[in-house]
Amino acid sequence: MPSRPSIPARAVLRRPSLSPADVFVGFVMLALLYVAVRLGRSMTVNFTPGHSSEQISTDLSNLPYYAARSLVRMFIALGVSTIFTFIYGTAAARLPRAQKILVPILDILQSIPILVFLPFSLAIFINLFSGSLLGVEAASIFVIFTSQAWNMTFSFYHSLISQPTELDEAARMYRLTKWQRFWKLDVPSSMIGLVWNAMMSMGGGWFFLTASEAVTVFVHGTSTPIELPGIGSFMGAAVEQGSFGKVIIAIVAMVIIVVGTNFLVFRPLVAWAEKFRIENSASSDTPHSVVLNVLRRSSIPGLLGRVSHPIGRALDRVTRPFGLAEYPLAIDARRKRLGDGAFWLLICGVSALGAYAGLSYLSSHVGFAHFPYLFGLGLATFARVVILLTASTLIWVPIGVKIGMDPKLSRYAQPVVQILASFPAILLFPLITLVFIKLHVSLSVGAILLMMLGAQWYILFNVIAGASSIPNDLREMGSNMQLTRRLRWRRIILPAIFPYYVTGGITAAGGAWNASIVAEFVTWHHTTLHAVGLGNYIAVQSIEGKFAFLLAAGLVMSIFVVVVNRVFWRRLYRLAESRYSM
């Protein structure tokens, strides 16, 4: 007698039960929401410019609260940096006219020292949030943003312009809208490099945390120091007191924060980004994450995805009238020439007005006779940057390739590398400064080491991202053909990592110029060391509140960075785009 068929509706209508993973994920989300709300309230207390804020206490009981405040600022800035990256990088890569102006502007933005951004951001945000500490908090977050956004934007932009042609053809063939192409093609194809650069951005934000949490407001010619609660200001207060023990405790606390952040956030992102790797054969060893496994067992992420799915479909329909993913668009040649002429006429007019206003201000407050001295200081810092990049390339390119291409080594090295990516090397500056003082080492030489601690990681992490993105079948082909070490480097490794190295090199150079501000002017207790260079000059002028001289030095630093980028790095970018893109 035939068995009775089961009724599928019973399984469909059965209410799903909560799993332990659902309970855990839900509890963590509620806890994070509660902490965010509590910390958000502390950021909106009353504040009046000209009145000194509460002094930072070095009592160790305050350290967890300070660390949480800093962590919130870091992740807010990282979120803003991600949004900026998507908008700016897409516009620079997809709009031919905008590309000609947005890429040079990005060069200028990454070359401007963060201490030049600080007075502008303070004035804007304090007036915007009058009577609230939120203005100072927003200025601090903006400064952290300026240390995070540029390398992420460079990475995303280069991923778009070097996108495989078959993916571009597939987007046109399936007639994707521009919105669909962005989320289904542009973001996934750039995900591996973007995740690694996000880790590096986190480290860049920690690097300048002390400068962003201890600011000075000038009201009617009077300077008022403002110290926001945070681990950076805690470290600054401990250094000012000369408390070696509290500096060590702050470093240990930072290590715990970095390890926790990488375990809970970046390690899951690295493992998740592996699904976007473009290759025909799977790697035998891929990154794993306990946190990601828990999220995959939980139904909450899927539920959130189903809730947001109608929003995505609505955006698909709304953006369809803006056109399909057909780039470049076929337009009339005469209209194109006319549009280009009007575009450049507008750009030249705005640039001329801006240059006239800036030069008039500098001429009256600084004087052009002071600029040769500034360019001489710039040459001293430029020499340190060249030495730093050469040493970093020779040291970290082979190591990065080894980590990225060896699955077994990568399993153990990637967590260490992720910690190095986020660890703020500036926390080691007080200890290294103390060593320099004891050994009588000139900071003119020691500044190279301090700058290298902050900038070398851009090269390492981009090389690792490039080496790890080499398709597994291409690696197997090299092994099967028994290529010599030299041929494998020439034919497989160097072409694959070259675009990533260029991104790492250009951001490392910009990071080194910014790092010179804190590397050429270091303090331990009552002892201050100076190095001859533009970074030292900017740090001194910032402390003294001489905004005109600070602006002049920032302009000179921008000129150095932009000229080198246009003469050297842009040529390497074009070579990577024309010869080494897949």
pLDDT tens digits, one per residue of 400-454: 888 888 767 776 776 676 666 556 666 677 778 888 888 888 888 888 888 888 7
Q: In the chain, where are the structural domains located?
A: 19-277+287-330+366-579
What span, in angstroms and rounded, lies between the C-alpha atoms of 161 and 157?
6
Task: Please give the residue that has the higher pLDDT: either 492 or 47.
Answer: 492
CB 519 within 8 A of CB 534: no
pLDDT tens digits, one per residue of 348-362: 777 677 777 777 877
Average pLDDT over residues 290-300: 83
Instruction: Using CB atoms within 10 Å of the CB of residue 372, give its burial: 0 to 12 exposed, 13 to 18 middle, 19+ buried.
Output: exposed
Given a cut of 60, whether residue 219 has pLDDT beyond it is no
Given a cut of 80, whether residue 229 has pLDDT beyond it is yes
Q: Enter the tokens of residue 187.
A: 């973001």
Given a cut of 50, whether residue 80 has pLDDT beyond it is yes
Give the type of residue at 476: E
Q: Enter the tokens of residue 150.
A: 């540029």
Average pLDDT over residues 173-189: 81
Based on DSSP, count helices (H) and strands (E) in the chain, helices before strands: 27, 4
What span, in angstroms and rounded, lies between the C-alpha atoms of 313 and 317?
6
pTM: 0.73
Tell me, what's the pLDDT at 435?
84
What mean pLDDT is reported for the chain? 77
CA distances from 540 to 215, 353, 383, 557 (A): 14, 30, 21, 15
Given a cut of 70, whether residue 581 has pLDDT beyond it is no
> How is domain 19-277+287-330+366-579 classified at the architecture level of CATH?
Orthogonal Bundle (1.10)
pLDDT tens digits, one per residue of 282-294: 555 566 778 888 8
Q: CA angle, corner 140, sides to 138 and 144, nearest 5?
A: 115
Weakest-pLDDT range from 9-18, 116-125, 310-319, 555-564: 9-18
pLDDT tens digits, one per residue of 550-563: 888 888 888 888 88
Tell me, what's the pLDDT at 225?
66
| pLDDT band per the 50, 70, 90 thresholds, residue 248 | confident
Weakest-pLDDT range from 266-270, 439-443, 486-490, 517-521: 486-490
Spatial neighbors of 286 by CB under 8 A, at least 6 apart, are: 271, 274, 407
Give the end-to-end CA distance of the chain in Å, rounded to a whole number: 62
High-pLDDT (> 70) share of the chain, %: 80
